[in-house]
Amino acid sequence: MTNDDDFAAYQFLAQETEDHRWAFGTGFSDPLEGIDTSVPAGVDAAALAAYCLALGDDALIYSHRLQQWVTRMPELEEETALANIALDLLGQARLLLSRAGQAEGAGRDEDRLAFFRTEGEFRNVRLVEAADADFAELAGRLLVFSAWRLALFGELTGSADPVLAAIAGKGVKELTYHRDYAAQWVIRLGDGTELSHARMQAALAVIWPLFDELFRADAVAARLPGAAADPAGLRAEVDGVLDAVLGAATLDRPEGAPMAPVAGQTGRQGVHTEALGYVLAELQSVARAYPDATW
């Protein structure tokens, strides 16, 4: 196996080509290159763009929050796990933002959407914005997020938009793995020592006010019959999963009031918590300072 060819890919990358990588973005070829990206008849293209944007934003912002844990985890194995989960979500974000850009038809690609939108233009749910205070909060948030997103993607595998269905089909496999990982930690901590149980229960209390928002009626989804999933329809599956995990973990489901919408609006309408601004500052500031840099 040892010959020069093994490293041809890397030699090629060192050569001057037209394929410059943009310093702050992916610079990769379009991740949907070669796929039939026409929007099917009967699917509202503008609504599809907005829908994919929101699902892409969920993954992009949460991936960034998970990446911030790298170098701060208690063990190398868990750090590797989180880096892998963050990478999967970043991959989903790339595909979804690319799809959003195509359906929109205004020439915005994934990088433009990720790096050059302001806070109010992001459409992610508020659950993914805050930095986790401790490992228990990380495990709890990851469990809620992946249980919800798995239920959502499970529905979207039957989407009338074949590109969205294909993205969901890949994501389902990844999210199943993420959810299992999170569930095992929640159970281990909840059913662990007195201290780990107390901290896991306290972490759930922090996360739960953001839970109801995941199932709020969504005007964008309503414009996409057959292509989008009804948020409220996901609740039974997510509740079932969480009840099973919390039961095994000897944890109680928190009963706090949900975080209130602002003038009826939440993350899907561009109304966010303060935490999102800090994520975007880190994610975007260098790209905005040097918008044309390549390496």
Partner 1 sequence: MVTQGADDGAAAGPEMVTREASDGTAADLEIVTREAGDRVAGGLEAAREIAGAVPDPELPMVTLADLGILRRVTAEDGRVVVTITPTYSGCPALLEMAHDLRYRLARAGYADVIVRTELAPAWSSDQITPEGRAKLHAAGLAPPNPAQPDPGQRGSGRGPVPLPLTMALPKVVACPRCGSLDTERTAAFGPTACTALFRCGTCREPFEYVKDI
Among 54, 60, 138, 183, binds partner 1 (CB under 8 A): 183
Tokens 């943009």 sit on residue: 22
Q: Is 22 helix (H, G, I), strand (E, B) or coil?
A: strand
CB 165 within 8 A of CB 156: yes
Angle subtended at Cα 65 by Cα 176 and Cα 76, rounded to the nearest 5 degrees: 70
Q: Nearest approach, Cβ of 260 to partner 1 (angstroms)?
A: 30
- Decide: is 230 part of the binding site for partner 1 (CB under 8 A): no
**Binding marks (x or -) toward partner 1, 78..97, rule CB under 8 A?**
x-xx-xxx-xxxxxx-xx--
Told to check if 278 binds partner 1 by CB under 8 A, we report no
Among 39, 54, 151, 221, binds partner 1 (CB under 8 A): 151
Among residues 149, 179, 199, 272, which is the contact residue for partner 1, using CB under 8 A?
179
Question: How many residues form the binding site for partner 1 (CB under 8 A)?
Answer: 66
Q: Which residues form the interface with partner 1 (CB under 8 A)?
A: 1, 5-6, 8-13, 19, 28-29, 31-35, 77-78, 80-81, 83-85, 87-92, 94-95, 151, 153-158, 162-163, 165-174, 176-177, 179-181, 183-184, 187, 236-237, 240-241, 244-245, 248
